[in-house]
Amino acid sequence: MKVFKNYIIWLFFITLWAGCASKSPNIKSPLTITSPSNNIKIGFNLKPDGTPVYWVNHKGKAVIDTSVLGFELKDQKALQNGFKILGKDTTRFSETWKMPWGEQAKVLNSYRQLVVKLEEKEAPKRRLNIYFRAYDDGIGFRYEFLASNKESNKSENQQVIITEENTQFKLTADHTCWWIPGDWDSYEHLYNTTKFSEIDAISKRKSAGLMQTTIMTNAVNTPVKMRTAEGLHLSFHEANLTDYAGMTLKVDPKNLSMKSALVSSKRTGYAVKRTLPFKTPWRTIQISEKAGDLIASKLILNLNEPNKLGDVKWFKPKKYVGIWWEMHLGKSSWDKKSGKHGATTKNAKAFIDFAAKNNITGLLVEGWNTGWEDWLGKEREGVFDFVTPYPDYDLKEVVRYAKEKGVEVIMHHETSAAPRTYEKQLDSAYTLMNNLGIKSVKTGYVGMILPKGEYHHGQWMVNHYRKVLTTAAKYNIAINAHEPIKATGIRRTYPNAIAREGVRGQEFNAWASDGGNKPDHTTIVPFTRGLAGPIDFTPGVFNIKLEPYKDKNQINTTLAKQLALYVVIYSPIQMACDLIEHYGDHPALQFIRDVGVDWEQSKVLDAAIGDYITVVRQQKGTDKWFLGSVTDENARDLKASLAFLKEGTQYVATVYKDGKEAHWDKNPTDYAIEKFIVNNKTTIDLKLAAGGGTAISFIPATQQDIKDIKPYSGK
């Protein structure tokens, strides 16, 4: 892979504090670092008792008040106070790196870094470094645990066991927050919108989706998004979650403060065990004046290491269909015992024919391998082997037929949360995929983790998900994980991490007892879960009322909004999830045929979290653009300036919009399609129905188009 890199690193010395810290442990002036534009400033100091503290300013105003840093350890005194400063380093870094696939072709990574080197004043004089990075779109910091340099303490295997991390985030006011509870097993929750002081995450929800989960009281999962009274946007998350426990944030409503609360194993009684030296994940705060700039921020990716896999052209971003929605509707089933097995050779071929006709190059088949009779049973270890198809599914023949039609089969591995069984099978499962030429797999972890006492988001599982990713990479296989660990930018380092779930996706609309995702859900997701990374949300339902399969559930959007989601929610794999018979040759299917999945650039034109969002993306290597705009339960008239289009080029804009009578509940399938000639001087009116949306393709016009199609007049 040609990596476009242009970077400079230089060291410079701050005269503020002239290297006397080792003599004077309680420094008078703080250490500070500012972002390249000087908008964002991080300060560090030690309290009189030697406790490390930091704070963050944006344009001279406090964003994070003085907040403490530290750890509680097993069999050791807490790493919390009694420190002196041994030294510090300040560096400046700037590079532009290329995404192999993504929401944009190039990413600027530009920051200033301050490393503070600490040592305890008293024995055992443990050392801790803290790395602070100031970017123009936020900050990150991480801890480095160092091995003891005392000869007497030196052993081959110096280990540390962390029972809790005490990283504090002290807010400056009672901000508005968009949050999900601090669930140790699942991120599949609806977002709550409350004041910080009103966050009441209590273990009231006993299950998320198809499984039982473990919800902690008064904690939230990240990313958690906030807006200050002045309109500043903040998002708290983590980057490069490697060999460590996932971080939830414990809320202290009275003191307007949050503190890290690590997912801890009940089996071992601790959160993290590591050999020294090691670095923790980055703790991140994205900061922007416009809501849309949070989505443009690539801070989480920038805090991860560069691509370790090199060329991943074997993975091609794609649209896909699947033997999937029919199981969630109950039309067919994963297992055979029910007598309505979905994964048959015949059914797969029908989907392949449909895909081939509609510019869709992937086919997911769930329920293809034996074991589904017992997948939610008590004994889940050894239930699946990932190589044995049901007798009515001729895997080889399906793959052959798909290839002939230019379609790639996407493998499915439901582990039923028995990762040890899966790890034993990785090589045989991936060898089979290699032999068949299958390049990607959707994995799943439904159920409480086996062994008991481990959680989806703990260190043990973080390491399992990584093992799957790196093993798959050796076989040139890409992973789309469901019931995953949250995305923390690992796709930069391992670009075979193509997408994941970790959200209340489309499937909830088929069966959730609360009636499914609310109309505002997808106006919040891009600013929360979406900031972490690509989402396998699976849009594209045309049979909105789910008849005749479901009488209590429906999709709570209009049909046009289903189309808009292909642009609003980013993923390099986008499913057209509905049944073939519901698409038929529906005119709106043209948008799904046309829409891109890999992008040169992406822009948020306009957004208010929880209300609406309008996104445009330019398809990689083309002059085609696509627009998606979605609203919550309120109808809205928005405007979109097309200034992003190429100067001097005329485009055919095909507008897929809500019909005059459209309403997510009363009339969700009322839609209209219109064509206009537009250019970069045009401003288009978007009329979104309640729970509705608009999708537009902009394709450079031919001379004939210009003759045949009228220019946009706004009427």
- Give the binding site for ligand NOJ (CB under 6 A): 210, 324, 366, 414, 444, 446, 482, 501, 507
| Partner whose binding site includes residue 185, from Ca ion, ligand NOJ, none (CB under 5 to 8 Å by kind) | none
Of the pair 502, 596, the CB lying nearest Ca ion is at 502
In whole angstroms, give the CA distance from residue 7 to residue 110: 9
Are residues 407 and 318 in contact, defined by beta-carbon separation less than 8 angstroms? no
CA torsion through residues 218, 219, 224, 230, sign = positive
Of the pair 265, 538, the CB lying nearest ligand NOJ is at 538
Q: Closest approach of Cβ 130 to ligand NOJ, in Å?
A: 38
Of the pair 189, 482, the CB lying nearest Ca ion is at 482
Stretch that binds Ca ion, among 65-73, 201-209, 260-268, 387-395 (CB under 5 A): 201-209
Exposure class string for 357-383: b at 16+ Cβ within 10 A, else e: ebebbbbbbbbbbbbbebbeeeebeeb
Q: Closest approach of Cβ 207 to ligand NOJ, in Å?
A: 13
Backbone angles phi and psi of 367, in degrees to 5: 75, 25
Q: Closest approach of Cβ 581 to Ca ion, in Å?
A: 25
Of the pair 370, 679, the CB lying nearest ligand NOJ is at 370
| Partner whose binding site includes residue 536, from Ca ion, ligand NOJ, none (CB under 5 to 8 Å by kind) | none
In whole angstroms, give the CA distance from residue 262 to residue 702: 57
Q: Closest approach of Cβ 316 to ligand NOJ, in Å?
A: 22
Q: Closest approach of Cβ 367 to ligand NOJ, in Å?
A: 8
| Partner whose binding site includes residue 112, from Ca ion, ligand NOJ, none (CB under 5 to 8 Å by kind) | none
Number of residues that bind Ca ion (CB under 5 A): 2
Centre a 10 Å sphere on the Cβ of residue 16 and count the other Cβ atoms it contains.
Answer: 10
| Partner whose binding site includes residue 414, from ligand NOJ, Ca ion, none (CB under 5 to 8 Å by kind) | ligand NOJ
Q: Which of 164, 165, 507, 600 is catalytic?
A: 507
In whole angstroms, give the CA distance from residue 412 to residue 400: 17
Centre a 10 Å sphere on the Cβ of residue 219 and count the other Cβ atoms it contains.
Answer: 23
Q: Does 209 bind Ca ion (CB under 5 A)?
A: yes
Q: Closest approach of Cβ 101 to Ca ion, in Å?
A: 23
Q: Point out which residues pair with 238 in neighbouring strands.
A: 283
In whole angstroms, give the CA distance from residue 178 to residue 109: 27
Are residues 247 and 262 in contact, defined by beta-carbon separation less than 8 angstroms? yes
**Which pairing describes strands 192-195 and 211-212: parallel, antiparallel, or unpaired?**
unpaired
| Partner whose binding site includes residue 181, from ligand NOJ, Ca ion, none (CB under 5 to 8 Å by kind) | none
**Per residue, what are the HEC states of 405-473?**
CCCEEEEEEECCCCHHHHHHHHHHHHHHHHHHCCCEEEEECCCCCCCCCCCCCCHHHHHHHHHHHHHHH
Count CA within 13 A, CB hemisphere, residue 435: 9
Stretch that binds Ca ion, among 202-210, 220-228, 664-672, 680-688 (CB under 5 A): 202-210
Q: Closest approach of Cβ 512 to ligand NOJ, in Å?
A: 12
The DSSP 8-state label assigned to residue 548 in this structure reads T
Among residue numbers 398 through 417, which ones bind Ca ion (CB under 5 A)?
Answer: none
**Which pairing describes strands 257-262 and 247-252: parallel, antiparallel, or unpaired?**
antiparallel
Q: Closest approach of Cβ 416 to ligand NOJ, in Å?
A: 8
In the block, residue with structure tokens 């066991």: 161
Of the pair 68, 446, the CB lying nearest ligand NOJ is at 446
701 contact partners, CB below 8 Å, separation of at least 6? 650, 651, 652, 677, 709
| Partner whose binding site includes residue 68, from ligand NOJ, Ca ion, none (CB under 5 to 8 Å by kind) | none
Q: Closest approach of Cβ 375 to ligand NOJ, in Å?
A: 8
Taking every pair of C-alpha atoms in the chain, what is the biggest distance, in angstroms? 85
From 409, 437, 441, 439, select the one nearest 425 (Cα to Cα): 441
As given in the structure block, the two tokens for residue 72 are 């509680």
Of the pair 209, 691, the CB lying nearest Ca ion is at 209
Q: Does 533 bind Ca ion (CB under 5 A)?
A: no
Stretch that binds Ca ion, among 203-211, 217-225, 260-268, 489-497 (CB under 5 A): 203-211
Of the pair 199, 573, the CB lying nearest Ca ion is at 573
Q: Does 516 bind Ca ion (CB under 5 A)?
A: no
Long-range contacts from 61-64, C-beta under 8 angstroms, 24+ separation: 61/172, 61/230, 62/172, 63/172, 63/232, 63/234, 63/285, 63/287, 64/169, 64/170, 64/171, 64/172, 64/285
* Per-residue contact string for residues 470-509; x = within reach of Ca ion by CB under 5 A: ------------x---------------------------
In whole angstroms, give the CA distance from residue 98 to residue 103: 11
Of the pair 82, 367, the CB lying nearest ligand NOJ is at 367
712 contact partners, CB below 8 Å, separation of at least 6? 653, 676, 677, 678, 682, 684
Instruction: For residue 138, give the H/E element and its range.
Output: strand 138-145
Q: Closest approach of Cβ 326 to Ca ion, in Å?
A: 17
Of the pair 235, 415, the CB lying nearest ligand NOJ is at 415
Stretch that binds Ca ion, among 20-28, 129-137, 165-173, 207-215 (CB under 5 A): 207-215
Of the pair 115, 210, the CB lying nearest ligand NOJ is at 210
| Partner whose binding site includes residue 350, from Ca ion, ligand NOJ, none (CB under 5 to 8 Å by kind) | none
In whole angstroms, give the CA distance from residue 459 to residue 184: 11
Are residues 318 and 355 in contact, defined by beta-carbon separation less than 8 angstroms? no
| Partner whose binding site includes residue 164, from ligand NOJ, Ca ion, none (CB under 5 to 8 Å by kind) | none
Are residues 85 and 46 in contact, defined by beta-carbon separation less than 8 angstroms? yes
Note if 507 is an active site residue: yes
As given in the structure block, the two tokens for residue 60 are 């001279």
Of the pair 283, 482, the CB lying nearest ligand NOJ is at 482
Are residues 675 and 654 in contact, defined by beta-carbon separation less than 8 angstroms? yes
Are residues 44 and 26 in contact, defined by beta-carbon separation less than 8 angstroms? no
| Partner whose binding site includes residue 366, from ligand NOJ, Ca ion, none (CB under 5 to 8 Å by kind) | ligand NOJ
As given in the structure block, the two tokens for residue 251 are 């809320």
| Partner whose binding site includes residue 444, from Ca ion, ligand NOJ, none (CB under 5 to 8 Å by kind) | ligand NOJ
Q: Closest approach of Cβ 44 to Ca ion, in Å?
A: 41
Which residues would be at the binding site for Ca ion (CB under 5 A)? 209, 482
Positions marked catalytic: 507
